[in-house]
Amino acid sequence: MKFRTFAMFVGPSIFLMVLFIAAPLVSVFLQSFQITQPVVEMQEVETCTAGFLTQTCTTETKTVPKLDEFGNIVTTTEWVGLLSYQRVLQLDAVGAAISSGNWGDILNIDFWKALRFTLTFTLITLPFVIGMGLAIAMVVNNATKSMKGPVIFVSLLPFIITPVIGALSIRWLFYGDGIVTVWLEALFDTNLSVAANGWAVEFLMMFYRVWHVAPFAFVIFYAGLQTVNQDTLESAIIDGASRFDRLRYVIVPHLMPLIVFITLIHLMDAYRAFEEVVGFSSQAQRITLQWLTYDLLQPDDAGNRAISRASASAMLTMIGIVIILMPPLRRTWRDHKGG
Amino acid sequence: MSTPKALQQPLTLKLASNAFLIFWLLLAVFPLFWILAMSFKSPVDAFSSSALDVVIGPETLSRGNGLSALDIIFGVVVLWVSARLAMRWLMPMAAGDGLIQRVFSWLVACLGFGLLFVAVFFFLLPWVLGPLNDIAGPLGRPVLGLTTEHYNAVWVENEFWRNFSNSLIVTAGVVTISLTVGTLAGYGLARSGSNLAFWILVIALVFRALPPTVLVAGYLPAFVNSAEILRPWLGENAPTLYGQPLAVIAVLASINQPFTIWMLRSFFQNIPTDLDEAARVDGCTHFQAFRWVIMPVMWPGVITTGLFSFLLAYNDFLVTSLLLDQSNQTMVPAIAGYFNRETTTTDQVEAVAAAVSITAPLFLLVMVFQRQIVSGLTAGAVKG
């Protein structure tokens, strides 16, 4: 294919990606070193209230945003270096916490709290997603043929459902006097309040994620199981391999590339977790890195968005993405050079 | 095919395997079934601590909203028959030549089927069953509490249909743009073995991993001030992009691009290059070969990728909630408004009803396109 034809085919897509992915990325990078603020003026304001005999007057200096001739607020943009990063990371507070020995205080700072939760969330859900996916795939593979269609249909539902709605549907089972909470209370004869307990909420968020992603792992493992070499299995039996040995030494190695694939996708997606916080309204207890940026982008009470701090936190989030992507990219590069 | 004796499983293993399967199916479906059951009950029943009350709904029943055994039997039969007919007839109805005609005729067929179903299920059936219930004796007595008041409140009083139509506009736009642009790129990338193509794919993979907030942090200032930024070029007509569905469509389609081109590329790679070469020998240009030879066999791949674009746009919370304002919000962010203000139990059940309303189209989607979804999920993976 000539370069010109290639460019014609790929051009529109590249244009979209440059305009809406690459350009914003650069601008976020720049914004994270800048702060845009309204220009303020100090004004002396004299306020007088009616009093007996004389008025009581007080003069105070107020800061008032400066307006241009159209009545818009004038803003300036300054380069502030790493100030926004410092505000997100709050290293001095971290230092104080370390030197005073109260390590737990670090987790009161939003960024470190989010980082702690995002990492535990990602790493703890990973083995469960793979385990559940593999177990479901083997069990479905084992089921009678006529059952497979409906079973796959039902299994796909948690995966296909809108993430926020999926999280809500589990929240409604547990929060307040949700039906499962009632059952648990009857079972253990105690009084439970799931929504008030940070760890319970954290567990529910992980449970939701496994419930949501396991079908994806299942479908992929199920497709992989169809291509297991039957001859290898038979020779394993002749060699006296038990059922578990066959799983351990034939099936799992065969599925290894798929396990790597799912691990990669899951790490990328769980690291970006966001909908859980919305669905479980957990912002008071557990937040994720992406939710932190989202929250900074939301207008506050005065209608201002903390764009620079959001950019800084977004750039810090990116570091994690780079680390996750490093091994697969290196492998791709090796394959490309070798092949 | 009989399984060899050595591969046969002992009874305990079979039992355990089936027990786990049933456990998983219950786990998968229970939360969804539960919100469905809650959404049709009066608040007292929906938040009752007895599971049976939530399903049967005595309080709802005592208010005179209920179905008799006869209603249930007829309703289930009509639902089942229409589901069967939909699965058997709707797919082949995509007649006509060319992509546009087929999609169009299929949409018309679906719409017609939907209208027919609504007419039969909601109008013909009650009209027939009303008199029947009166003469059927015990079979005609209401046994299952069921009320549609919350759906009525959500869709009519709270004007959820506005959010629905916004969702429809956004998803339709995203699917169209990302498929058009993505198919061209996917074909180009699949047929070019150059270094450039490799690098484009790697960069797309990196873009695929980016959290959307990173990008939105870049759009927000530009979109809010876009009228001023674009003024030098567009003059006084420069639009404020913030709150524009069109801007959101462009953003979502672009965020979707890396995924789309990877998936379509893997589908195109499955089509033998001999086809293109034969067409080229017969005197086609690359574009003609693509349009008249490759596209007709690419149907399944395009449908599958379209499904995933649809899901991404339909399920999106983050981008739409930040870039659209209240007046043209889509469904998923709109529901956040419900459960944030849920003060009374009625509000809560309305939130549940809204959630079920959002899920229903997805449910239909899986029903019709199960095969395509499975093939799409495995397309990228099996090749590694």
ipTM: 0.84
| pLDDT tens for each residue of B256-271 | 888 888 888 888 888 8
Q: How far apart are CA A147 and CA A155, in angstroms?
A: 12
B359:A27 CB<8 A: no
Mutation test of the interface with chain A: which of B254, B256, B319, B364, choosing the one with the most A Cβ atoms within 10 A? B254
pLDDT of residue B99: 65
The size of the A-B interface in CB pairs under 8 A is 291
Q: How far apart are CA B163 and CA A102, in angstroms?
A: 48
Domain limits, chain B: 18-152, 160-382
Inform me whether the C-beta atom of residue A207 falls under 8 Å from chain B C-beta atoms. no
pLDDT of residue A208: 93
pLDDT of residue B93: 59
Q: How far apart are CA A336 and CA A306, in angstroms?
A: 42
B31:A169 CB<8 A: yes
A293:B4 CB<8 A: no
| pLDDT tens for each residue of B290-305 | 888 888 788 778 888 8
Fold held by A108-338: MetI-like fold (1.10.3720)
pLDDT of residue B383: 45
Mean pLDDT of B332-354: 76
Which residues of chain A does B317 touch, with a Cβ-Cβ cutoff of 8 Å?
Answer: 162-164, 274-275, 278
Q: How far apart are CA A291 and CA B85, in angstroms?
A: 44
pLDDT band at residue B39, thresholds of 50, 70 and 90? confident
How far is the alpha carbon of B47 from chain A, nearest alpha carbon, in Å? 7
**Rounded to 10 degrees, what is the CA torsion of A284, A285, A290, A294?**
0
Mean pLDDT of B25-42: 86
Task: Extract the tokens encoding B211.
Answer: 């959290």
- Give the residue ranges of DSSP H helices in chain B: 11-39, 43-46, 51-56, 58-62, 69-89, 99-118, 125-135, 149-152, 160-191, 195-209, 212-224, 226-234, 245-269, 273-281, 286-288, 295-315, 318-323, 331-340, 345-382
C-alpha separations of B372 from B100, B257, B301, B307 in Å: 20, 19, 8, 8
User: Could you identify the residue written with the tokens 């700072």?
Assistant: A109
Residue B226 makes CB contacts below 8 A (sequence gap 6+) with: B238, B239, B240, B241, B242
Task: Extract the tokens encoding B309.
Answer: 């674009």
Answer whether A132's CB lies under 8 Å from A210's CB. yes
Average predicted confidence (pLDDT) for chain B: 79
| pLDDT tens for each residue of A227-276 | 888 888 888 888 888 888 888 888 888 888 888 888 888 888 888 888 88
Task: Output the CA torsion sign for B269, B273, B274, B280.
Answer: positive
pLDDT of residue B1: 44
Task: Extract the tokens encoding B153.
Answer: 């409140």
Inform me whether the C-beta atom of residue B22 falls under 8 Å from chain A C-beta atoms. no
Inform me whether the C-beta atom of residue A288 falls under 8 Å from chain B C-beta atoms. no
A31:B6 CB<8 A: no
A44, β-bridge pairs: A61
pLDDT of residue B366: 81
pLDDT of residue B204: 87
Mean pLDDT of B113-126: 78
B362:A169 CB<8 A: no
Residue of B nearest to A138 (CA): B17
Residue of A139, A149, A223 with shortest CB distance to B21: A139
For A159, what's the count of Cα atoms within 13 Å in the CB-facing half-sphere?
Answer: 23
Between vectors from CA B3 to CA B2 and to CA B6, what angle results, nearest 5°? 145
A152:B374 CB<8 A: yes
A325:B206 CB<8 A: yes
Mutation test of the interface with chain A: which of B7, B21, B326, choosing the one with the most A Cβ atoms within 10 A? B21
A58, β-bridge pairs: A47
B144, β-bridge pairs: B67
Inform me whether the C-beta atom of residue B286 falls under 8 Å from chain A C-beta atoms. yes
User: Could you identify the residue written with the tokens 């993976």?
Assistant: B381
pLDDT of residue A124: 92
B221:A31 CB<8 A: yes
Residue A261 makes CB contacts below 8 A (sequence gap 6+) with: A220, B380, B381, B384
Q: Has residue A48 got a pLDDT over 80?
A: no
Domain limits, chain A: 108-338
Answer whether B380's CB lies under 8 Å from B266's CB. yes
**Selection from A7-16, A77-86, A206-215, B43-52 with the highest mean pLDDT:** A206-215
Residue of B24, B219, B340 with shortest CB distance to A136: B24
Answer whether A120's CB lies under 8 Å from A128's CB. no
**Rounded to 10 degrees, what is the CA torsion of A197, A200, A206, A209?**
-80
How far is the alpha carbon of B266 from chain A, nearest alpha carbon, in Å? 15
| pLDDT tens for each residue of A174-208 | 887 788 888 888 888 887 777 778 888 889 899 99
| pLDDT tens for each residue of A206-215 | 999 999 999 9
Residue of B211, B358, B363 with shortest CB distance to A272: B211
Is residue A299 packed enough to be buried (19+ CB in 10 Å), middle (13-18) or exposed (0-12)?
exposed
A44-48, A325-329, B3-7, B74-78: range with lowest mean pLDDT: B3-7
Residue of B187, B222, B311 with shortest CB distance to A9: B187
Q: How far apart are CA A161 and CA B360, in angstroms?
A: 9
Which top CATH class is B160-382? mainly alpha
For B261, what's the count of Cα atoms within 13 Å in the CB-facing half-sphere?
Answer: 33
Inform me whether the C-beta atom of residue A239 falls under 8 Å from chain B C-beta atoms. no
pLDDT above 90 covers a percentage of chain B that reads 2
Between vectors from CA B209 to CA B208 and to CA B212, what angle results, nearest 5°? 85
A329:B206 CB<8 A: yes
| pLDDT tens for each residue of B150-184 | 787 778 777 778 888 888 888 999 999 998 898 88
A13:B31 CB<8 A: no
Q: How far apart are CA A160 and CA A322, in angstroms?
A: 28
Q: How far apart are CA A295 and CA A91, in angstroms?
A: 21
A160:B28 CB<8 A: no
